[in-house]
Structures are given as C-alpha cells and as structure tokens.
Amino acid sequence: MPLLSISQTKDFKKDLVGQVNPPKYEKAEDMSNLTYLNDASVLYNLKQRYYHKLIYTYSGLFCVAINPYKRSPNEVPPHIFAISDGAYVNMLTNKENSLC
C-alpha cells in the first residue's frame, strides 16, 4: 500500500472509518467506559497504557494484564491479585485467619 504525501487527501465511505474516543479517555483504566468500544480503540488504549507501564487494565468485570516480559516489582502499583495472593500466602504461612 503506497503512502500518501501530506498534500494528498483520500476520501473514505463513512462506514469504513472507525469512531475515535475523546482525549479524556486516553489511557482509560476501565475500557467499559470508552465511548466507542471497537477493536482499534481497545488496542490503542492497551498500547498507550503499556507504554506508560500500566500493565493492568479493566474491561468491565475482567482484568486485562499485559506481560511486560521483564521484572519490574517496584515500578508498577500493586494490583488486587497481588494483594490477595500476599494475604493468602501470609494466611498459609502463619496458619491463622486474616479476618480475626
């Protein structure tokens, strides 16, 4: 596919162009809040969050985690799964209920 120069324009049919979310949804933590929830919007949001080391993203009830393929224990904020895993391991180690 040849690239167009800056001076050229290209017309597309309206149904071939995807909608774009407003800037306030840049790096949205929960993608279910996006105005336009399409493939391009989801992938763009995940890409932007990944570049800013935000590897956990919600999509409604689901959590999307992108593996950064490197260790960064102190660089990302704790996630609910890490917190619950720590509580579970602590409960097994100390052999007591954490609710007491």
What is the rounded CA–CA span in Å between residue 65 and residue 54? 9
pLDDT in tens, 53-95: 888 898 888 889 888 887 766 666 666 776 777 788 888 888 7
Write the CA distances from 76 to 16, 47, 60, 99, integer angstroms.
38, 16, 21, 27
To the question of pTM greater than 0.75 for the whole model, the response is no
9-35 per-position pLDDT tens digit:
788 788 777 788 999 999 999 999 999
